[in-house]
Structure 1
Amino acid sequence: MTIITLGPEGTFSHDLAQMMDSDIILVPTISRVFARVLDTGIPGLVPLENSEAGGVTATMDGLMQHPVFISEERYLPVHHTLASDTPLDKITVIFAHPQSHEQCSRYIDDLGVPVIHTESNAASAHAQKERSGSAAILSRTLAERSGIPVLAENIENNPDNVTRFIVIRKDPGIEEHPEKCSIIVDPGENRAGLLYDLLSPFKETGVNLTRIESRPSKRCMGNYVFFIDLQCEGNWKEAIERIRTISRVKHLGCYHLTGDNPCR
């Protein structure tokens, strides 16, 4: 299988794609992964959420904006390093992707060094090499590929740090007896009892939700959409149809679980 994912070589996305025994096409940003999937029909691999830092904004925005579907999920334990060609006590600035920063916030706070955010770990590596006296938060693989010495390992807040990835496709898959479904609920309003009305159908039909997260609708302040993952149990199809009567629903797909969540 060929898959499109975030590069360059050494990113966590690239590491996972290699484990999937895939031919890999690397692109520089998550938004480019979505664009290439739509242009080529080749599936893409993107990070969706992290056990420490929560949802990945670029992926959630891509799911909102583009006609793509989720066909499977994967989990990857994530460990970070501090890499630099400068001694630790001489570092004046750290380059880090916002997700990496949040996952390593305690270590960074203890250092007391200013942080500059980048669009990817790969961009952090490039920025470090361009600026003397700097360091970067990277995977060990990326630090080694970039030729940047590792000063500290496993600096993440939680030793059980895990990122959930999804495979996105241009066309919906057809799964018999799926285990999980993902939807985006866009009520288009803000009123008393709204969230209760959206969640009640799941309770009343015996459906367990494994994730619910809100994102701004990008229309106006105070207007949100909800990302919901649900287990395919009980009368889950009825629950989704009941929500359709009171809200817009974007069906992202139903799929089998591929790989185990190590946090379970």
Structure 2
Amino acid sequence: MQMVTLGPSGTYSHRAARAVTDGDIAFTESVRGIVDAVADGRADRGVVPIENSIEGSVTETLDALAETDLAVLKEVVTPIQHALLAQQSGFDAVASHSQALAQCRRYLDEHHPDVDRRAVASTARGVELASENDRVAAIAHPDAGGDELNVLAEDVQDQTSNATRFFVVAPPEERSDAGGKSSFVVYPNANYPGLLLELLEPFADRGINLSRVESRPSGERLGDYLFHVDVAAGLYEDRTQAAIADVEALAENGWVRRLGSYDTAHVT
């Protein structure tokens, strides 16, 4: 089974992918590349970052899931332990994924305020740049530097509880109703006072906990939004099916995408 995730080898996405497959793992440098590879059949599975406990949702993933019909098969939660890696203690720039740089903002502001921060495609790409240039440091997992880079500082993330959620995505025909959590994308194609309350009430009325609700621009027009909703219930449950039926009726001029139900795997 071919799985694709953010590369190159050694990213946190790669760690998440290894936790759920023993098969081949291919790499791309964008979430859009992962989603497209699964959608057009070049890969059987994809692993995409969805949310970080410090920086919040990965908007590139939210938008890709809203634009492409895919199934979510599993959630993978992995702890994020950032280290500052470099060939030497003196450097002019630090390179990493934009999320990693943001997760270490406080450390960088305090210890390296004058160093240039370069956002690259992945933490592993930052390691590659630091390995090629002794004036560049990287932020990545402390094991990512191998024998080429020194660990100048560990646990440089702003919060010690830093963790990231990943979704394992597959073609839509593999969507399942089984699992302890479910995710949806709702586009009501409407805007009036109380709309969001009306969309959420069907879950509250049935005792379904909403674990995440987030709005994103629809791209259709300014001020028009769609909503990403995660609930702590499976689609196999009658109460979830009834709640979604109510939401679909409210969004009759738009659409509701059922990403699927899934369980959670934790990477240690």
Q: Assess same fold via TM > 0.5.
A: yes
Partners of 2:154 and 2:95 lie apart in 1 by 16
Residue pairs, 1:1-264, within 5 angstroms: 1-29=1-29, 30-40=31-41, 42-87=44-89, 90-111=90-111, 112=113, 113-144=115-146, 147-173=148-174, 175=176, 177-232=178-233, 235-247=239-251, 248-255=255-262, 257-260=263-266
Give 1:23 deviation, angstroms. 1.3
Whether contact under 8 Å (1:178, 1:254) holds in the other structure is: yes
Partners of 1:221 and 1:130 lie apart in 2 by 44
Partners of 2:126 and 2:175 lie apart in 1 by 39
Q: 1:26 to 1:140 in 2, by over 3 A?
A: farther
Give the paired residue count.
258
The one-letter amino acid paired with 2:150 is P
Give 1:81 deviation, angstroms. 0.9
Give 1:131 deviation, angstroms. 4.5
TM-score when normalising by structure 1: 0.89
SS at match of 2:250: coil
Q: 1:43 to 1:136 in 2, by over 3 A?
A: same
SS at match of 1:220: coil
Unpaired segments of 5 or more residues in structure 2? none
Partners of 2:196 and 2:247 lie apart in 1 by 11
Partners of 1:4 and 1:53 lie apart in 2 by 24
Q: Provide, for residues 85-112 of structure 1, a one-character-per-residue CA deviation record: whole Å limited to 9, x for no partner.
A: 231xx32222221110121111111121
The one-letter amino acid paired with 1:230 is V
Whether contact under 8 Å (2:182, 2:261) holds in the other structure is: yes
Identity of aligned residues (%): 33
Q: 1:129 to 1:66 in 2, by over 3 A?
A: same
Partners of 1:120 and 1:226 lie apart in 2 by 27
Q: Provide, for residues 184-232 of structure 1, a one-character-per-residue CA deviation record: whole Å limited to 9, x for no partner.
A: 0112233221211111111112211111112221223222211101122
Give 1:250 deviation, angstroms. 1.1
Q: Provide, for residues 105-127 of structure 1, a one-character-per-residue CA deviation record: whole Å limited to 9, x for no partner.
A: 11111121331212221332233
Partners of 2:175 and 2:38 lie apart in 1 by 18
